[in-house]
Structure 1
């Protein structure tokens, strides 16, 4: 029985190896990565970040609620990330404290790297912040966020440094291919992973 199982595993490994040798690259679609990232954010326990910094008259929390990734070939390949976040807390302005609840949509651009089976964003850079649904004066929010822009970029960069956007483990082919990836190219609407 053990001999049969070992023989089947070796046959499967040989078949996968032949398949990999026949093709020197494979693609992962943007929609597949977005689907996995959505599941990850929905189940993650650590998507809330404190933004307050010493000496600032505010106490704000940013919570990631949704992420959408767009692969673009421009500039040698760029990953555009649009996040939907809740911003809550208190802001001091004009000698008064104001409670704040609003939606903030930061947008980033980044590169990509592979580590073991995981695909991570590289150096996400904040490109735009949109504020929606605020009952508070948008100029005051923008002023508060302006002083926190570096902090927003920092906490989101740390999050994506520790959390992959995709793990190559959805099939035996992906698992085996993960150890053979030599280059990643960002194409419109997909990632092309070259092997060997």
Structure 2
């Protein structure tokens, strides 16, 4: 690193710390939801396979259509998430295979973790799963997902382990302070990052 570049980096860090007031950085609930909406503009299908008690499998492709995150300081800080998803796949029940395509809307609460400059949801706990539609297949799927609650929760956890909900790269300040963050917490309507 040249001396000129080292001086520039030092000046940038000092000005960033001055701007941040050494307190930290925060991302509002609105900014978080805008980032999630932008990520979901490029739809990605995720394969999920769940094993039924009978030994049959439920093969599904999950497409996340939308997600809304409500940040609350309740219980030490929680991200309350309402998702709208589309499930397509095959369900084996009553000795037959049924193809289905339906809308499934899980709601869950989770914590957050920071890895490098990326924010992930962790340990999602499902609070509700709503299956839209009134067809026979939707009713079977609704009852099946109820019995597979824990497995579905694990699959959601895997999804959010690989899909960050926010990346600290939206401004020069975020980029500069990302490597100095020592803690993350959820407050009412914001995620706060502690520096030092």
* Alignment TM-score, normalising by the size of structure 2: 0.84
Structure 1 gap ranges (5+): none
Q: Tell me the residue number matched to 2:87.
A: 87
Provide the C-alpha distance between the structure 2 equivalents of 1:104 and 1:9, rounded to a whole number of angstroms. Answer: 48
CA contact (8 A) 2:112 2:121 kept: yes
Q: Tell me the residue number matched to 1:145.
A: 145
Aligned residue pairs total 193
Provide the C-alpha distance between the structure 1 equivalents of 2:159 and 2:93, rounded to a whole number of angstroms. Answer: 30
- Look up the SS of the partner of 2:140 in the other structure: helix
Say what the alpha-carbon RMSD is for the aligned residues.
2.5
Show the 5 A alignment for 1:146-185: 146-185=146-185
Q: Tell me the residue number matched to 1:27.
A: 26
Q: 1:159 to 1:92 in 2, by over 3 A?
A: closer
Q: Tell me the residue number matched to 2:48.
A: 50
Structure 2 gap ranges (5+): none
Superposed CA deviations along residues 28-68 of structure 1, whole A, max 9, x for unmatched, are 111111111122233253x4222342721643332222111
* Alignment TM-score, normalising by the size of structure 1: 0.84
**Correspondence 1:192 to 2:186:** no
Superposed CA deviations along residues 88-135 of structure 1, whole A, max 9, x for unmatched, are 223344444433221100111111111111111121111110111343
CA drift of 1:87 comes to 1.6
